[in-house]
Amino acid sequence: MNENVIHATDGTFEKEVLKASVPVLVDFWAPWCGPCRMVGPIVDELAIEYAGKVKIVKLNTDENSEAPATYGIRGIPTLGIFKGGQLVDGIVGAAPKSMLKAKLDQHLAAQVVA
């Protein structure tokens, strides 16, 4: 298990994601989802590469339905980017690492300028 990845629940979502002081990448996933299993190792790699800059959180949608419902998550995997307690971007489906890095870099750059 990657110590840079936080496994959140509906009960810890506010603390871990909405009140985070850095941008948060949330991986909405489920154990039975094939594309989720493809994205999982990429998310783990990003957690190491972006340690200290982006918080990486996984939320099992089978065990936690409140947060996905709140943010309109209808398909998995969905990777949501949260900043300042708001969902600001997202990718639905299995995306390549390069696309995820580009999205994260875009939001980190915007944070520096703001």
In which residue are the tokens 């979502």 written?
13
What residues have CB less than 8 Å from 82, skipping those under 6 apart?
17, 18, 20, 23, 24, 26, 88
Cβ pair 77, 39 in contact under 8 A = yes
Catalytic residue among 6, 20, 24, 36: 36
Cis peptide before 77 (omega within 30 of 0): yes
Catalytic residue among 5, 17, 20, 33: 33
Active site annotation includes 36 = yes
71 catalytic? Reply is no
Q: Residues with catalytic annotation? A: 33, 36
